[in-house]
Amino acid sequence: MNVEERIKTERKIPLKSRTIIHFMLVDNRIKEAISFALKPFDVSPQQFNVLRILRGQKEKASNLSTLNDRMVTKMSNTTRLVDKLLQKGYAHRVVCRTNRRKIEITITQEGKKVLTKMDKAIAKAEDNILRNFSEKELKQLNNLFDKF
């Protein structure tokens, strides 16, 4: 993708600025593709991320702090994300009787079932997003990203 063409400018953009704009354009394109893949499930990318974290706990309960620490996109509204998953029946919440501030969250069977379907849709989206890259190029790209 040619940055200058994409943002419709004839001006030569300095390399560092061009690189940052490139990152932003790629980020936007990826977010759109992932959101589109999740749209049939009425789940946001952040909710999908929470479900994957909960599944990764392997039947152990999680708490809001753990979820927030493990989120790809750090946000302060993890409670709201979990509330939406509870409403959909994809997660279960238990308040500790001895310490009401302690809340344990787990994924439900329904959550696991729908997450398996989402995994397939996301894998398809990822294949489409990365279709122009070879495995060698993806490894190189990841090595470059590791420099951040």
Q: What confidence tier does 11 reach under pLDDT thresholds 50, 70, 90?
A: confident
For residues 104-141, one letter each, b for 16 or more C-beta atoms within 10 angstroms of the residue's C-beta and e for the rest, the string is: ebbbbeebeebbeebeebbeebeeebeeeeeeeeeeee
Dihedral sign for Cα 69, 83, 95, 113, please: negative
Whose tokens are 């990764």? That residue is 56
Q: What confidence tier does 79 reach under pLDDT thresholds 50, 70, 90?
A: confident
pLDDT at 1: 61
> Domains (ranges, CATH) in the chain?
1-41 (no CATH), 43-117 (1.10.10.10)
Whose tokens are 């953009």? That residue is 13
Say yes or no to pLDDT of 17 above 70. Answer: yes
| Model pTM score | 0.86
